[in-house]
Amino acid sequence: MEKGCQVQIKNQVLPIIEKNGYDRAMLIQILHDTQEKIGYLPQDVQQIIADELHMPLAEVYSVVSFYARFTTVPRGKHCISLCMGTACYVKGAEQLLERLERLLGISSGQTTNDGQFTLESCRCVGACGLAPVMSVDEHVFGNLKPDMVDGIIAQFSTEEQTL
Amino acid sequence: MINSTQYAHIAAQNAMTSADLKEIAQAKKKDMAVRFGSVQDHAVHILVCGGTGCTSSHSEQIIEKMETIIAREKLHNVSIIRTGCFGLCAKGPIVIVHPEETFYVQVKPEDVEEIICGHIQNGKKVERLLSKDEQGELVDKLQELGFYEKQSRVALSNCGLIDPENIEEYIAMDGYTALDLVLKEKKPEEVVQMILDSGLRGRGGAGFPTGRKWLFAHQASGDKKYVACNADEGDPGAFMDRSILEGDPHAVIEAMAIAAYAIGADEGYVYIRAEYPIAVHRLQIAIDQARAQGLLGRNILGSDFNFDLFIRLGAGAFVCGEETALLNSVEGKRGTPRLRPPFPAVKGLFGKPTVLNNVETYANIPVIIRKGVDWFNAMGTETSKGTKVFALGGNINNVGLVEVPMGITLREIVYDIGGGIPEGRSFKAAQTGGPSGGCIPASHLDTPVDYETLMQIGSMMGSGGLIVMDDSKCMVGIAKFFMEFMVEESCGKCTPCRLGTKKILELLEKIVSGNGELEDIDKMEKLASTMKTTSLCALGQTAANPVLSTLRYFKDEYIAHVEEKCCPAGECKALIRYRITDACIGCTRCSKVCPVGAITGQVKEMHSIDPAICIKCGACIQACKFNAIVRR
């Protein structure tokens, strides 16, 4: 990472660590806040956190890699999250996943080459009454059938073009 | 950790006293009277469900639109209340109009004008938004729905009735009087005894008597103790705890304060999934309000009891629902389980004695104290007292949240409350206990639902997810689904769980792909028993339960996969083929939707599918209007 860029990142991360009282017990909260600010948690960022909390980088990384919500690589512009809870599975979430994978040409957990979409499956968003459910960014779509998926994704792709 | 400087800002200047509590309750009860049938003052209260399910189907836009129209029409007697979950998620978004208690279902923002101008201004109910009973008759009151008839709401008593973001509404429902009572009239050991006598058992899964946990922590020596709340509801398909926190967060705060008083703690943590933004938001509001009123902080309600409460977010790890893993995660570490003993009641958070209960367990505490041990004891069975909240999901008509007395039969839950199986299909199994539980077949539909009985039939109460499956579901596939979950979620600390889950999944994959052998079934059973006896925590010890229970009740399906190389339910892709029958009229719809061009045929002539190209996606079956495509 370039030096100027690193300074900029440090300026974003330091207030977060300060807000959480330089407390190691707050590490998970610090990682949440940092990821929300920067989008992901690359090694440089983890190093800053490790230095400020006076703990080894390995320990910070062990926490980052343990929890599913933390990512060390940037995500796409839109995040498609397909619920793979039991209720959604029973109502055909697997077919939705296949359709999405085919449509976007990526597998679950990957980002499209143009950086537009990240596809991931998640564990139960708790909207089981609407199963099967997927969300694109903060928009939730329920009672889905495989053929409805294309239209939803198109909606977000065209939104890009008109902007 | 707390010190006196941190406490200083918490000690509210106008900290509430018992007398204030009574005064607020009285005043607020008058305001809310319309919700209990009073027709005074021409007040109208419109309750809109603000649970996650209804919010996902645009209940926020409904509220916005209502506010606009009410302002436009200058209807000063109408209030809109955003409540927690009403339970009937399948029919959301739900709107209830008081005093008539009119129950509108599947309301859309464009229906709002008619509700306000038609119903509220002109007394004309919007019939098309009312639900219908089995005979097709319109039902316009919540209580008249079959869905609610067999339920008894204890933990959910305030959910869908009060505004969870308004502490006064909770106080009006006798909120914080249980805390007031124990602080004034009971010694800590008397509180512990009450919970012991109530017979309340942990609602998070294992069913350990709550009072015993409290007793151990009460007896443990130490100048610093903690209370903690497990809101890491990781069981996929379960949303009981989330709904309680969204609908009645103060009940959990009050209960945790009572627990803290009983064991001698002054600090508490709620560990909650980051996937539950609405619940986190409402809980934080509730904590802030309680602090501002002096119901958290120093000298609560004029006593010398101090207690404060903090939220800790999870980050997506199922194992953190295990109590010792959760404690590690609250401390900011990897959520791996610790060796037990020592148990958390002796050595828990930051090495100090800690009481850790689940959200629903806590939600039962204030009402037990208010209404008494005998009242609570009268509900349920000999060994399982009270009620249990279930999240009904899957292939069932009334998907939603239900609270039933312990000992009710599964049949009553599935058919009387759940409204049976949709699309004319039949019941095959109900899955309880999530990835640690098992599948219950139709032959056990009349089994009473309590901790012991569910164990005996190879499942468990679990946290309360209850997923119903119809006859189109392959039970080997379900076992594989849970095992995939477990492979991903095993924390990797101990070998039996880390490798056992992987090996069992490999064997299941072999079976569903048509390469299974009979000895694979024996191998799975052997692996399962090793995992049960040697895994470090409950996650590994129970991880094989979905396999064991499906083997117990649906072994013939496993054998069909292995010996006949066929999937009786028609779900396992490697074992099925799509074929077009002579019902085909050659409309070409199927060939147009086929993503890989596997379907050929002339217009108005029978089509055919090339099995070598077909990827078995099922798009053709969905597209065909003549039921001319079969899956075998």
Q: Please state, in angstroms and rounded to a whole number, the distance separating the CA atoms of residues B68 and B64.
A: 6
Over residues B298-315, mean pLDDT: 96
Confidence class for position B401, pLDDT limits 50, 70, 90: very high
Mean pLDDT of B407-431: 95
Contact check, Cβ <8 Å, A24/B332: yes
Assign 3-class secondary structure to B183-204.
HHHCCHHHHHHHHHHHCCECCC
- pLDDT reported for residue B133: 79
> How confident is the model at residue B448, as a pLDDT?
94
Residue B1: pLDDT band with limits 50, 70, 90: very low
Residues of B with Cβ-Cβ distance to A82 under 8 angstroms: none
In whole angstroms, give the CA distance from residue A150 to residue A130: 19
Comparing CB atoms, the residue among A31, A66, A124 nearest residue B237 is A124
Section B150-157 average pLDDT: 94
Nearest CA in chain B to A90: B394
CB-CB neighbors (< 8 A) of B53 in chain A: 126-130
Tokens read off for B51: 């649970």
Please give, one letter per residue, the 3-state secondary structure of B267-309: EEEEEECCCCHHHHHHHHHHHHHHHHCCCCECCHHHCCCCEEE
Beta partners for residue B266, in sequence order: none
Q: What residue type is B31 in one-letter code?
A: D
- Walk me through the domains of chain B, giving residue ranges and CATH numbers: 31-149 (3.40.30.10), 174-377 (3.40.50.11540), 387-470 (3.10.20.600), 475-564 (1.20.1440.230), 577-631 (3.30.70.20)
**Backbone phi and psi for residue A139, each to the nearest 5 degrees, phi listed first:** -90, 125
Nearest chain B Cα distance for residue A115, angstroms: 24
Of B393, B617, B619, the CB nearest to A128: B393
Cβ-proximal residues to A159 (8 Å cutoff; 6+ apart), any chain = none
Residue B554 to residue B546: CA distance in whole angstroms: 11
Residues 330..349 of B with a Cβ closer than 8 Å to A: which?
330-336
B317 and A146: CB-CB below 8 Å?
A: no
- Nearest chain A residue to B471 by CA distance is A90
Using the beta-carbon criterion (under 8 Å), do A32 and B315 form an inter-chain contact?
yes
8 Å CB contact of A128 and B473? no
Dist. CA B609–CA B630, nearest whole Å: 11
- B89 shares contact with chain A (CB less than 8 Å): yes
Q: What pLDDT is stored for residue B143 in this prediction?
A: 78
Which of A72-76, B39-43, B189-193, B452-456 is the least confident region? B39-43
Contact A66 B399 (CB under 8 A): no
| DSSP element (H, E) containing A28 | helix A27-38
Please answer whether residues B18 and B302 qualify as being in contact, where contact means their C-beta atoms are separated by less than 8 angstroms: yes
Q: Is B74 exposed, middle or buried (0-12, 13-18, 19+ CB in 10 A)?
A: exposed
CB contact under 8 A, A123 and B238: no
- Average pLDDT of the segment spanning B5-24: 71
The pLDDT, as a whole number, for residue B499 is: 97
Cα maximum dimension of chain B:
87
pLDDT score recorded for residue B600: 93
What percent of chain A has pLDDT above 90?
68
Q: Compute the mean pLDDT over every residue in chain B, rounded to the nearest whole number.
A: 93
Q: Is the ipTM of this complex over 0.85?
A: yes
Structure confidence by residue, pLDDT tens digits, B467-508: 999 999 999 999 999 999 999 999 999 999 999 999 999 999
Interface-testing mutation among B58, B233, B272, B275, with chain A (most A C-beta atoms within 10 A)? B275
Residue B404 to residue B392: CA distance in whole angstroms: 12
Mean pLDDT (whole number) for B228-251: 93
Separation of alpha carbons B490 and B299, rounded Å: 44
Report the DSSP beta bridge partners of residue A135.
Answer: A81, A140
Classify domain A78-162 by CATH architecture.
Answer: 3-Layer(aba) Sandwich (3.40)
- CA A152/CA B595 separation, integer angstroms: 18
Residues of B in contact with A142 (CB under 8 A): 56-57
The C-alpha atoms of residue B289 and residue B294 are separated, in whole angstroms, by 9
Average pLDDT over residues B36-59: 89
**H runs (alpha helix) in B425-563:** 451-456, 475-489, 495-512, 518-534, 538-542, 545-553, 555-559
* pLDDT, mean of residues A16-31: 97
Cβ–Cβ < 8 Å for B302, B180: no
Kindly report the nearest CA distance between residue A92 and chain B, in angstroms: 10
Q: Which amino acid is at B119?
A: H
Interchain CB distance below 8 Å, B491 and A66: yes
Q: How far is B74 from chain A (nearest CA, A)?
A: 33
- The rounded distance, in Å, linking the Cα atoms of B89 and B69 is 26
Note whether B593 contacts A: Cβ–Cβ < 8 A: yes
At B124 the pLDDT is: 93
How is residue B38 annotated by DSSP? -
Subunit contact B315:A102, Cβ cutoff 8 A: no
Q: Is the pLDDT of residue B615 over 80?
A: yes
Cβ within 8 Å of A, B 527-556: none
Confidence of residue B300 (pLDDT cuts 50, 70, 90): very high
What is residue B223's DSSP assignment?
S
Q: What angle do CA B563, B569, B571 make, to 5 degrees?
A: 95
| Interchain contact B92–A (C-beta under 8 A) | yes
Rounded CA gap, A8 and A136, in Å?
30
Comparing CB atoms, the residue among B53, B276, B329 nearest residue A28 is B329
A27 burial type by CB count under 10 A (0-12 exposed, 13-18 middle, 19+ buried): buried
Q: How far is B161 from chain A (nearest CA, A)?
A: 20
Angle at A61 between CA A58 and CA A64, to 5 degrees: 160
Buried b (16+ CB within 10 A) or exposed e, B369-396: beeebeebeebbbeebbbbbbbbbbbbb
CA B418 from centroid of its chain's CA atoms: 15
What span, in angstroms and rounded, lies between the C-alpha atoms of B287 and B291? 6
pLDDT of residue B187: 97
Q: Average pLDDT, stretch B502-515?
A: 97
For the cut 70, the answer to whether the pLDDT of residue B296 exceeds it is yes
Task: List, in order, residues 6 or more apart from B19 with CB less than 8 Å away.
Answer: none
User: Cα–Cα distance between B613 and B591 in angstroms, integer?
Assistant: 13
DSSP states along B555-587: HHHHHIIIII---TTS--GGG--EEE-TT----
CB-based contacts of B138-146 (< 8 A; 24+ apart in sequence): B139/B103, B140/B100, B140/B102, B140/B103, B141/B100, B141/B101, B141/B102, B141/B103, B142/B86, B142/B96, B142/B101, B142/B103, B143/B101, B145/B88, B145/B103, B146/B416, B146/B417, B146/B419
- Give the C-alpha separation, A97 to A84, whole Å: 9
Chain B residues 452-491 within an 8 A CB cutoff of chain A:
465, 467-469, 473, 481-482, 485, 491
Q: How far out from the chain centre does Cα B533 lie?
A: 29
Residue B366: closest CA among B132, B598, B177: B177
pLDDT tens track for B334-353: 999 999 999 999 999 999 99
B326/B277 Cα distance (integer angstroms): 19
